[in-house]
Chains A and B, each alone.
Chain A
Amino acid sequence: MYKVCTAFAVLCAMAAPLPALAQDAELSGLREEVKTLQKSYEERMRSLEKRLAEAEARAREPQAAPVAPAASVSAPAARASESAFNPAISLIMQGTYARTSQDPNNFVIQGFVPSGGEVGPPKRSFGLGESELNLSASIDPYFRGVAIFALTPENEVEVEEAYFQTLALPRGFTLKGGRFLSGIGYQNEIHQHAWDFQDAPLPYKAFLGGRYTQDGVQLRWVAPTPVFLELGGEIGSGQSFPGSDRNKNGAGSWALFAHAGGDIDESYAWRAGLSYLRTSARNRSYDDLDALGNPVANSFDGKARVWILDGVLKWAPNGDSRRMNVKLQGEYFRARQDGTLTYDDTAQAAPQFGATFTDAFRAAQSGWYAQAAWQFMPRWRVGYRYDALRYGDVDIGIVANGLGPTAADFPLLGRHNPTRNTAMLDFSFSEFSRFRLQLAADKSRAGVTDNQVILQYIHSLGAHGAHRF
């Protein structure tokens, strides 16, 4: 039988075109090669065992000592140059073409204290988005460093994130320090270019000024359980909305979050979370108009608290997301502010009151959004999002005490429940480029609907980005 086979193989090889001859030698060499490998393996094994025995006899060395990859058969030669140590660099380029029925410069979320963040729709006509420069590398065996700079279309540079992160803490702990996107909520930690829509959901805009960034430290712990469970806490300066720079010692903000997640089966994966943010503000000011339409400066002093409940469910047939996949995402926010509000129209030439008023301010408001993105064929996705904010209870002491300004002097805080419907269609040429069309009917302002058409491109250059869940 064996002979017949060999003869057949030889015949085939002879009948085959020329290049096959070279491979014929390889074919008969295969057996030798595997044999040699096995033999050399046995030899090495013996010598290693001997060395190991010697080493163990010498000392009780802990196994944590970094060992060179002794077993590597033919490790590729490392590049020997200074640039080999350069961090991974990637650059995200974005731009929009926008058409809005309302002036984006008048954008307000009626009924909610303005955050001062960039939460409005993009500027009309062609507009450059933020370009994001991303550098990351291991610092040493103990730390990893990440820095992300946003180059704004106004030719400014913002440090979006710049943090170190531990790599070697035991028992599932990670410590992060510097400036980083807070771990609260689901979308907060995701960079804008990886969002499913061009802009943030309304609750993020109203309660966190788009997203919450900490200047501080974060400690996370991942539980050693087969189901994903992660607990985290942060303390920071609390300078971003809903807090403000307080010029005080100690932490101005702290946050706690818990995430759980897992696979339901091969096709479904989920993550859910609960987060709490507590921060305080001093002289957090915003501009409004009084009843006569003249500018007024208001400022808030006090505490702000935000609760977030989030959930994500993803589906892909057999977990293969290339052909088709669905992502459902939703978050529910409750936000409270307790403190005092100061009304000041003294800066005006002909003020209505010419005085400052300070009294209690309390707001208990909420909001939620739910969105779905469906990749119905390779490269193409459609998505829909609905967001809604509840005005809730807002008590303005200055108005209630009846001594001066009335509700008409706080038009921005007038009762309104904003809603928005958003639809999008995007196309990705590859993992590194995406074009998106987004249509929105935005009722953030009272009584008017802003119909928005936004075309967007997102291109990524350089190091391969991460596929975050």
Chain B
Amino acid sequence: MNTTFKRASLAALMVAALFFGRPAAAALNIFACEPEWGALAKELAGDKGNVYVATSALQDPHRIEARPSLIARARSADLLVCTGAELEIGWLPLVQQQSANPAIQNGRPGHFEAARQVVLAEVPQRLDRSQGDVHAAGNPHVHLDPRNVAKVAAALAERMAELDRKEAAHYRARANDFLERWSKASVRWEKQSASLKGVRVVVYHRDLTYLVSWLGMREAGSLEPKPGLPPTTGHLSELLARLGREPAKAIVRSAYTDPRPGEWLAERARIPLVALPYTVGGSEKAKDLFGLFDDTLARLSAIVK
């Protein structure tokens, strides 16, 4: 009964869509691959954009499947805002193909890659899978450096203006406003984090590299033996021995990673395990990009207090 009704309403929707085309609201349909770019797109587009965020802060953007819901959303998107640099290589190409939406194919203005707007760190010298799941273009987790966010924001606003020329001034004005606020906040963060310089931390995955280098902190090792491979007891024991020789202040992990390996090591190395939101939505306070950095720095500062 219920399913019949659903089918009937679906069919009605389909017919309506066939005849009336896109809904009348002249807003950009934005498909953001990750929450950070979703938040940025909302900042820049305001009420001129419908933003759909494909992944949550509790998901690993690398390990997503091309689910039917993603294909359906990509079908009517005007703009994909993704990280690129192979972060979404396991699912985005499939979503692009199966959505049958020419506007968001590679090379089209509707396909925006944040990683193309910044200089990537850790470009592998040896491109070989024996090194784990390495990305040829470099480390794709670029958004935890506010300078990168600013560069991406400027480029993204231009892309929105290009796609929606009538509202170009709107996107540019919002970008200017955002960059103004962002630059003020960056100065605040810079001051707040001064005490973190030189602090050694153990990371889980190489997803905090840009944050660590922006703050002048140092990585004392990673829980994953190689990028993308889950932590093993052998590797953790080795890391524990290394921490005995060269101590670190804390273990930091992103919200989406498994807490258990970090807990194991934290207990034995007697250092705190700090969970960082990693992206928008990764903690209660990380409601937007500003909240993300505020909360991240608050949590990190607690290590050195």
> Could you list which residues of chain A lie within 8 angstroms of chain B, going by C-beta atoms?
5-6, 8-9, 12-13, 16-17, 19-20, 23-24, 26-27, 30-31, 33-35, 37-38, 41-42, 44-45, 48-49, 52, 56, 63, 66-67, 69-76, 138, 141, 144, 165, 167-170, 172-174, 220-230, 259-263, 266, 269-271, 314, 318-323, 378-379, 429-432, 464-469
Contacts A17-B198, A33-B147, A72-B117 known; list 15 others, CB within 8 Å: A12-B197, A23-B216, A24-B197, A30-B186, A31-B187, A49-B172, A63-B163, A225-B72, A260-B68, A262-B72, A263-B67, A319-B58, A323-B258, A467-B64, A469-B68
Q: Which of B100, B158, B198 has the most CB of A within 10 A?
A: B100
Residues on A with C-beta less than 8 A from B190 are 27, 30-31
Interface string of B55-72 (1 = CB under 8 A from A): 110111001111111011
Given A165-B97, A262-B72, A269-B67, A76:B120 Cβ within 8 A = yes
A34 touching B179, Cβ below 8 Å: yes
Say yes or no: is B106 at the interface (Cβ < 8 Å to chain A): yes
B17 touching A67, Cβ below 8 Å: no
B69 touching A263, Cβ below 8 Å: yes
B194 touching A12, Cβ below 8 Å: yes
Q: Choose, from B36-44, B83-91, B270-278, B288-296, the stretch at the interface.
A: B83-91
Given A31-B186, A229-B10, A71:B155 Cβ within 8 A = yes
B117 touching A466, Cβ below 8 Å: no
B183 touching A34, Cβ below 8 Å: yes
Interface string of B128-171 (1 = CB under 8 A from A): 01001100010000000011001100111011011101001100
A222 touching B75, Cβ below 8 Å: yes
Residues on A with C-beta less than 8 A from B175 are 41
Residues on A with C-beta less than 8 A from B69 are 226-228, 261-263, 269
16 example contacts (A-B, Cβ-Cβ < 8 A) are as follows A16-B197, A16-B216, A20-B216, A31-B186, A31-B190, A56-B165, A66-B107, A71-B159, A76-B116, A141-B105, A141-B107, A172-B75, A314-B65, A323-B258, A431-B133, A466-B91
A35 touching B94, Cβ below 8 Å: no
Residues on A with C-beta less than 8 A from B151 are 37, 73
In the complex, how many residue pairs between chain A and chain B have their CB atoms under 8 Å apart? 241
The minimal Cβ–Cβ distance linking A70 to chain B, given in whole angstroms, is 7
Say yes or no: is B102 at the interface (Cβ < 8 Å to chain A): yes
Q: Of residues 210 to 238 in B, which have CB atoms within 8 Å of A's CB atoms?
A: 216, 228-230
A321 touching B68, Cβ below 8 Å: no
Say yes or no: is B118 at the interface (Cβ < 8 Å to chain A): yes
- Residue in A16, A34, A76 whose CB lies within 8 Å of B147: A34
| Chain B, interface SS category | helix
Residues on B with C-beta less than 8 A from A173 are 100
Given A27-B190, A228-B68, A466:B119 Cβ within 8 A = no
Residues on B with C-beta less than 8 A from A224 are 17, 22, 75-76
Residues on A with C-beta less than 8 A from B180 are 38
B72 touching A227, Cβ below 8 Å: yes
Closest to B11 in A: A229
The minimal Cβ–Cβ distance linking A175 to chain B, given in whole angstroms, is 9
The minimal Cβ–Cβ distance linking B174 to chain A, given in whole angstroms, is 12
Residues on A with C-beta less than 8 A from B161 are 48
B107 touching A169, Cβ below 8 Å: no
* CB-based closest 3 A-B pairs: A261-B68, A228-B68, A71-B158
- Residue in B71, B100, B106, B109 whose CB lies within 8 Å of A169: B100
Residues on A with C-beta less than 8 A from B75 are 172, 222-224
A144 touching B102, Cβ below 8 Å: no
Closest to A168 in B: B102
- Residue in B58, B71, B179 whose CB lies within 8 Å of A228: B71
Closest to A429 in B: B229
Given A224-B17, A379-B230, A466-B94, A322:B66 Cβ within 8 A = no
- Residue in B147, B169, B172, B191 whose CB lies within 8 Å of A6: B191
Say yes or no: is B283 at the interface (Cβ < 8 Å to chain A): no
Closest to A28 in B: B190
A30 touching B90, Cβ below 8 Å: no
Could you tell me the distance between the alpha carbons of A41 and B117 in the complex, rounded to whole angstroms? 13
Closest to B137 in A: A76
The minimal Cβ–Cβ distance linking B110 to chain A, given in whole angstroms, is 10
Residues on A with C-beta less than 8 A from B198 are 16-17, 19-20
Residues on B with C-beta less than 8 A from A226 are 69, 72-73
Residues on B with C-beta less than 8 A from A5 are 191, 194
Residues on B with C-beta less than 8 A from A468 are 65-66, 94
Residues on B with C-beta less than 8 A from A321 are 63, 65
Closest to B169 in A: A49
A66 touching B109, Cβ below 8 Å: yes
Could you tell me the distance between the alpha carbons of A260 and B67 in the complex, rounded to whole angstroms? 11
B56 touching A271, Cβ below 8 Å: no
- Residue in B73, B101, B109 whose CB lies within 8 Å of A172: B101
